[in-house]
Amino acid sequence: MIFDRIAILDWSAAKGPRRGKDSIWLAVAETGGEACTALNLPTRLQAEAALIELCRQTRAKGQRLLLGADFAFGAPQGFIPALTGQANALSWWGWLADRITETPKNESNYRQIAALMNSRFGGDGPFWGNGEKQPTPGLPRLMPPLPAGLRPHRQTDQVARGPGSAPKPIWQLAGAGAVGAQVLTGLPVLHRVRQHFAGHVAVWPFEPATRPIVLVEVYPSLLAEAVRAHVARTGSVVDEAQVRLLACALARLAPGQMQALFTAPDTAEEGWILGAGQEALLRSALG
């Protein structure tokens, strides 16, 4: 499997434009080369524009792009069909894109949409967490019991667990290590990118990775040890180090090694982290 360039996106659901720590970083590496550029994008709308431009350039050059995003592409089994009526994750992408809004000031209504999703299930969950002083009706601040039939984690989250790497449940929207807000604000962006380049974008593992642009879920903490060493040596921001190292690692893989990463269980709802359970292969590419 051959890609001409690798892009890794570290997302943020922060309120207000932000740079540096806990902001949006996009690293791009050319396959077989050593150069890797990294952009720090202060808002989600600017990041969306950058992704569309990256895809446009790739298509104009007749190249193939692997674009990895650091947030879940699906949800624990049972959630999506209960919400959308369809047992596939891409239906949730569209559902969120129809409802999540963003402003140029990096303000989102994702908490209100989380509360709307909660209202479709029994009890107070599954989504919880609010770092704002103003409460959001229908969104508990503390973790409630999960509705019957839902689990905290996806299968791929369990496989990706290891020293320094333990994905949080997507249900948690605020607090240390929370990832839910990134999922809710990131998936609508990827949905629009997919629509913008309709017919040229595949979302793996839900679709075969055979189109010019392939979107995959990544988890840079699979390289946690290398990231810590890089930050200690260079003093760079962790988020920047993560996207740079993962982009470089993937860009150095031989086609057969890259192909080996594209293995996953049959999962139409949950998705799969590229490289989950294959950390040694990624680490070996860094030398």
Residues 95-150: tens digit of each pLDDT: 999 999 999 999 999 999 999 999 999 899 899 999 898 999 999 999 999 999 99
pLDDT of 168: 86
Assign residue 131 a region (left: φ > 0; alpha: ψ between -120 and 50; beta: otherwise): alpha
Long-range contacts of 78-87, Cβ-Cβ distance < 8 Å, separation of 24 or more: 78/149, 78/150, 78/151, 78/269, 79/126, 79/150, 79/269, 80/269, 81/269, 82/120, 82/121, 82/149, 83/117, 83/120, 87/268, 87/269
Give me the architecture of the 5-72+187-286 domain, per CATH: 2-Layer Sandwich (3.30)
| pLDDT level of residue 162 (50, 70, 90 thresholds) | low
pLDDT over 90 percentage in the chain: 82
Q: Is the predicted pLDDT of residue 28 greater than 60, yes or no?
A: yes
Is the separation of the CB atoms in 243 and 27 below 8 Å?
Answer: yes
Within 8 A by CB and 6+ apart from 145, the residues are 123, 124, 125
- Residue boundaries of the structural domains of the chain: 5-72+187-286
The total of other beta-carbon atoms located within 10 Å of residue 150's CB is 19
pLDDT of 287: 73
**pTM of the predicted structure, to 2 decimals:** 0.95
pLDDT of 1: 75
Q: How far apart are CA 272 and CA 183, in angstroms?
A: 14
Average pLDDT of the segment spanning 47-56: 98
Q: How far apart are CA 261 and CA 21, in angstroms?
A: 29
Which residues, in sequence order, are bridge partners of residue 213? 65, 201
Average pLDDT of the segment spanning 165-172: 84
Average pLDDT of the segment spanning 57-84: 97
Q: Is the predicted pLDDT of residue 167 greater than 90, yes or no?
A: no
Q: Is the predicted pLDDT of residue 247 greater than 70, yes or no?
A: yes
pLDDT over 70 percentage in the chain: 98
